[in-house]
């Protein structure tokens, strides 16, 4: 099968700590529970896309260590082509500490990039990757590599600007679909943190170089800002029994990419991706409850959100 989605991005070993309350500065709190799992925004998005039925290849780097080998074996088992993931000698694999609040499932994340920091533009050779229809990028590998992938791509270029940072106009003009959360949108635009769907839509509209901006707003759903249509569309998120929101944005991006590669419209792909991301919050860890396409479609259909 030819590749539908190529992901250029990070692979991390996640350590998740569940806490009843966030520690303040200088404070120590005890975790109520903990979990070791596989993560990394790039790898999470690749697995979400594969779980949704996509044919997915990944470009990235792991360290020459046992966790790196385990991460690759897991990706293979999930159906992701890892033939373009290189092993970085002398560097540990990337890792992340994820702290999740037991009161609501919100999180914060600290990443130690390890081998992800060594992903360089020459890792993209040969390019394009087997005629992929979608190239999916995030910001946990060096920005030069992200920029190089964006410049080379003639596929649909989807960028999830996470972790948040300001982006050059030169990079943004290559992006077809930008998928930030509210905080990332504020960082990309230099604007204030949007606290409502209306504020997010307005701020997204300031990115006039990007044809489509999809702002993920957690339980409030998402807002799609289309330059061509000159208007915004709000899609509500289904209510589910959330235990951990880690990786929900990654699930959204992966499912959106596969659906887009298969010819769905932006709104169709978004509706399915919202349902998938909601379902993904029902399990622990970044990949705890990634749904199949059928499960996501069933939930979206129940809400009358899908198909259009």
Q: Is 9 in the site for ligand RIB (CB under 6 A)?
A: no
The least CB distance from residue 282 to ligand RIB, in Å, is: 16
List, in order, residues 6 or more apart from 172 with CB less than 8 Å away: 178, 188, 207, 209, 210
Q: Which of 14, 81, 250, 294 is catalytic?
A: 250
Residue whose beta carbon is closest to ligand RIB: 39
Q: Is 113 in the site for ligand RIB (CB under 6 A)?
A: no
Q: Is 68 in the site for ligand RIB (CB under 6 A)?
A: no
Q: Please give the Cα distance from 274 to 218 (Å, whole number).
A: 9
Among 5, 35, 40, 255, binds ligand RIB (CB under 6 A): 40
The least CB distance from residue 139 to ligand RIB, in Å, is: 10
E-only strand ranges, the chain: 5-8, 12-19, 33-39, 56-63, 80-88, 94-101, 107-112, 134-137, 156-159, 177-178, 212-216, 222-226, 231-235
Q: Is 14 a catalytic residue?
A: no
Q: Is 180 in the site for ligand RIB (CB under 6 A)?
A: no
Q: Is 244 in the site for ligand RIB (CB under 6 A)?
A: no
126 by Cβ neighbours in 10 Å (0-12 / 13-18 / 19+) ranks as: exposed
Question: Any idea which residue has 């932006």 for tokens?
Answer: 266
Q: Is 160 in the site for ligand RIB (CB under 6 A)?
A: no
Site string for ligand RIB, 82-101 (x = CB under 6 A): --------------x-x---
> Which of 194/285 has CB closer to ligand RIB?
285
Residue 89 sits at φ, ψ, to 5 deg, of: -65, 145
Enumerate residues 127-156 that contact ligand RIB by CB under 6 A. Answer: 140
Cis ω before 47 (30° cut-off from 0): no
Q: Is 41 in the site for ligand RIB (CB under 6 A)?
A: yes
User: How many residues form the binding site for ligand RIB (CB under 6 A)?
Assistant: 16
List, in order, residues 6 or more apart from 298 with CB less than 8 Å away: none
- Which ranges constitute the DSSP H helices of the chain? 41-51, 66-77, 143-152, 169-172, 182-189, 197-204, 248-261, 266-280, 293-302
Q: Is 254 in the site for ligand RIB (CB under 6 A)?
A: no
Residues designated catalytic: 250
Summarize as ranges the residues that interact with ligand RIB (CB under 6 A): 10, 12, 14, 39-41, 44, 96, 98, 109, 111, 140, 246-247, 250, 286
């Amino acid at each position: 099968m030819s590749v539908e989605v190529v992901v250029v991005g990070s692979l991390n070993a996640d350590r998740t700590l569940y806490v009843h309350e966030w520690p303040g500065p200088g404070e120590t709190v005890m975790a109520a529970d903990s979990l070791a799992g596989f993560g990394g925004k790039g790898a999470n998005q690749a697995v979400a896309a594969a779980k949704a039925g996509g044919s997915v290849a990944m470009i990235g780097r792991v360290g020459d260590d046992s966790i790196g080998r385990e991460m690759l074996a897991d990706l293979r088992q999930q159906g992701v082509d890892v033939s373009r993931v290189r092993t970085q000698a002398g560097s540990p694999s990337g890792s992340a500490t994820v702290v999740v609040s037991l009161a609501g499932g919100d999180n914060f994340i600290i990443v130690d990039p390890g081998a992800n920091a060594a992903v360089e533009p020459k890792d993209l050779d040969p390019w394009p990757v087997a005629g992929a229809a979608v190239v999916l990028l995030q910001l946990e590998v060096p920005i030069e590599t992200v920029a190089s992938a964006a410049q080379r791509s003639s596929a649909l270029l989807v960028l999830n600007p996470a972790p948040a940072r300001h982006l050059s106009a030169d990079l943004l003009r290559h992006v077809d679909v930008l998928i930030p959360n509210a905080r990332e949108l504020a960082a990309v635009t230099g604007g204030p943190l949007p606290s409502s769907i209306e504020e997010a839509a307005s701020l997204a509209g300031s990115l006039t170089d990007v044809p489509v901006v999809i702002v993920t707003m957690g339980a409030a759903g998402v807002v799609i800002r289309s330059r061509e249509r000159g208007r915004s569309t709000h899609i509500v998120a289904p209510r589910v029994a959330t235990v951990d929101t880690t990786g929900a944005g990654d699930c959204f991006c992966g499912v959106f990419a596969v659906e887009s590669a298969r010819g769905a419209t932006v709104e169709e792909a978004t509706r399915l991706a919202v349902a998938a991301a909601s379902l993904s919050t029902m399990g622990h860890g970044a990949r705890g409850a990634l749904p199949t396409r059928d499960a996501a479609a069933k939930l979206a259909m129940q809400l009358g959100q899908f198909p259009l």
